[in-house]
Structure 1
Amino acid sequence: MLKNVSYLTKLLLAYSTIIGLLFLIFISIYYEVQVKNLKKSSQDNLIQMTSRVSDQFKGVLDEMSRISRGVAISSEVQAAMNEIAQDNAPENYFYFHPQGKSRIQDVIIGLNGTYFNNRSFNVISKNYDYVGVDIYNGVTLDKKALSRITWIRYVLENNISKYISPVSEDMYGRSRNETFSFVRLIQNEYKTYGVIDVQFEKTYLDKIFTMELSGYPVHTVVVKDDNTMFYSTGGAPAGAMEPLVRNCEVGPGSQTIQSMSLDGKKYIVCSTLLNDYDMKLYLLVNTEHYLASVNNTTTVFVICAVTILAALLLIVYGVTQSLYKPIRQLRDNVSRIDYATISVDLQVADTNNEVTQLTHAFEKMLEDIRHATGELMQLRTREIQAYYKMLQAQINPHFMHNILAVIGMMGRQKNAPEIMDMCSALTRMLSYSTDTTQSTVTIQQELEHVSNYLKLMKYRYLDYLEYTLEIDECLKQVTIPKFVLQPIAENCFQHSLQDAEPPYRIIIRGSIDENGWNIAIEDNGRGFTEGAIARLKEQFETVNREIDEGMFSSDFQIGGLALINTYGRLRLYSNGKIRLDLSNTPDGGSRVVISFEGE
């Protein structure tokens, strides 16, 4: 289909496709990241809201419980209620006995104080005699009307110690606002006298549960332990209670976050349990609402991206159009190359400066190719020679392994397990040293290598040498350059311990935490002199300069590793993030610390 399409058109189509795909991938990644971050942030905020409002809601119920309990156990109230226990007259007993009424009201005021806005307190006997404390003006119910209040009758008839009624219209008829009640039996171990009904208006709950997240409403649903609705905010999904109770796992003292569909819309639901009052609290946020900002931002971003893409394509078209003609001429020159001599008769139009520059560059490229071809042949020859030398060099390690194995077996036959142990340790060291497949290893591998070395030195010095390896398990999987620890341990014998009095002690400690890791190699020898430390630090600085200038090489022979080489390889490997510090221990021995700060 594109066979007859011009090169310029193909180029534009390719640029359009690549740039369009890049924009699409970027926008997709941006959208996913923003949605993920916003969802995480919204969930965290919703958990905090749930914790806060559950504490506030519990505080309201705690206050109602405190007042109702105080009234229920009050001896003054029980004494006043006991005086009317036998009275079953149709009239309210307290109409004719104001002293008893005053005693009960004094107890309520003592527990509640003088603040009665949006709340009322009702003491009702088993015969529905009634004492109320509130600031409402108006209706006073008779016994028959009181007996029709469902939660009062339910508590008295079923002898329920306490009961919290759902939010509903005020059955006392004193307020136009909806109310909820905390009802508790007034009783002692011998007798039940009646109930105390602490009633608050719904506005208490509205103040707690009216919330917003990112400018959008957070809906609240409170369900009682018998799966009946206690309270819900306006705008909460209709019929939400049943799927919430069925699908949401609610645990005491914690918040649970999950996504679910309600009324055909997706919501994030945070739930918790008020264990003291057997109530489940659900906070709901419509997913479409909190994602609206991301969707709007992404839409604007897409429009800007399309505009930028169109502008880029116009720029690419103009630039390509201006370059196409000289490139075509260069193509013609390439078609005339004599591949036998790698040369071409260049035809350059003096009036076209751009073509002249391209042609000169092309001529220089041909010259460089001729030189590179010769160098490549020489390099190939050297590579073949090096390969044969490498094959020859491999003979010696294999020979040594075999000989050591034979010596070890002879030691075992002669009942000399120490010989077998030394041969095994030396074999492992040779295998580690001649393995060129790895330039970096784990600290675990380096520890095994230095342990083999110290074991052999232990056989040399016998009881004069003690060594200890104390390394955190988590540190053993950290990766470092090969041949770092053993050269430092060897340096202890060659310098610090050389003229020291035995016994000799070498300790290798390693630890790791959230701030980084470090490995310290210490001995009890003569330590570093001040001059030695100064010279080594000066050489470290020289290594730093050579690395920065590109003149330092980390390709060392196995036998030439020392502190300077170890420092240089650590510097190259970590770009200076791994440090090597020299000092002396308080006892005078040397200390070399390899450390890394960061995650």
Structure 2
Amino acid sequence: MFKKWSLLTRLLAIYALIVFLVIPLSYVGFYKYYQSLAYRTLSESFRWEVTSLAERLDNAIAAADGLAVNTLANPSIENWMKETPDANTNNKVINVFNKMRLDLEIEPDSFNRISIIKENGTFLTFGSSYNREQVRKSIAGLSWFGELQAKPVLVVPPHRDDWDSKGKMVVSVIRSAVPGTIIEVQIPYSYLEAMLSQGTPNTTSKQVILYGDNNEILYPASPPQPASANEVTAENKLLHSGWRLVVTQPMDMLLTSVRKTGYWMAAIAGGLSLISLVLFFIFTSRTTRPLVQLSQAMARIPGDARTNEQLEKRFAGLDTKGTQNEIVHLYHAFTSMLQRMEESKRQAVEAHSRELQAQFIALQAQMNPHFLYNTLTLIGMLGMEEGNEEIPKITNGLVRMLRYVTYDSGELVFLQEEVDHTLHYIEIMKTRYREHLVVDVKLEGDLSSVRVPKLSVQPFVENCMKHGFVGKKYPWRIELRVSVKRAGWEVRVQDDGDGFRADYLEEFSRKRERVGRLGLHADEGGLGMLNTYNRLLHTFGDKLRFELSNNKAGGASVYMGCEGEQTDVQNIAG
């Protein structure tokens, strides 16, 4: 039943299947892929945010530790720790503290106080205000001296500043100096707290927890909510303190944008599917309407009686009436038309071949050769009687040229004969232009061992005289190089004239590409460059090498040749 459907019904059925089955399945697969890709991307972005926040916290602690290290390396401070300090040395060290803080570009908000503390109770501090008596009492109860014996640096979790009666919360970074002396750098806890609360966006949906060395919670102050299975968790460890930063976010919150995008994609896909189905129906109904008319018209293409009889027999054996498929009708009509086209093509090729042969014969028979020979001989004899030696020389060369063109021996001649014909033409031109024309001829190899189409060299030399020197002042120069070797033969004709125009080279290249498809084509009475190239190509085929170009120093150049030994050439003249 499906085979008997019309083209319109079949196309609508196929398209509806695609729209309502393939597209939804493709959308589901694409959405799943997009969801997994978006989840990986968002998860990586979320982990990157946590890593960035951990690095910022770690950098703040590292900056405080760097200030302590630079303090230990300062000679003035080192002397203060080894000697008994006085008021002058205290002021000098405080100035050093201030200068180091500025040189290290430490943010003011990230610095509370730096202090040098000795076990005997001597201390020196720079930064926030303090209570001297309260400091002395705090030093007596410090356990930092003993803890620093086990590790070089000590990071004290958030605690109250015992040196200040206000009890400000700080984080201390402590390093040991000379025996019995330590350096403490305090970071305001509010600075770290600001990072944790403002350093990540969407803080209402994210939970940030900072754990200490002993897994105690340093931030937030209130107990955090326990993590659930539908949350994404990222954890990062701070290198300088050993603390852990853990950030969690609900999965639903992370994929909110993905779901919204999916809803919009589904709505757009459904709307476009319905619209495309309506448009496809309108388009196909209008497109398939002329197919029946087209198939009928192609079936009635006129041909000869034999072809029409074959067409009727072909259709008589097929059940074309049992189907509504216009493509089937179109196929059979086109098959018949193709057969007629092949027959017409064969007839056209035969007619064109006969036309070429007639064209060549007509070229030979354009004049009465005996009348011309006798007339030219008479002119030469009259010249000799008058004592002019150039006249018989010219007429003798012209007679030889005419005999070469008109004698009936097929088109293929020896390359030596073609070169002799060209030299006769050159001698006539030199007699006319005398010292204004310089011709350099170089022949190499056995020219009688190669056969080429007649008039395959002389037309290019004649082209130099007719077109090459139109805009060139005397003297004119033509070079003719002919070489025959075991690897093949080659001929090069070049002048120092105006050269080929760019549009001519482009047109010639375009026409020569059509030669293989359209057959030979003569221009300018059959003696043009394209005609000569066509005859060479027909004779030598793929072995032919032919090129038109312009010399770098000016002038035109024509190169032709054939690779390999000459074994099988075609004579297009007969």
Q: TM-score normalized by structure 1?
A: 0.41
TM-score (norm 2): 0.43
Structure of greater relative contact order (alpha carbons < 8 Å, 6+ residues apart): 2
**Greater C-alpha radius of gyration:** 2
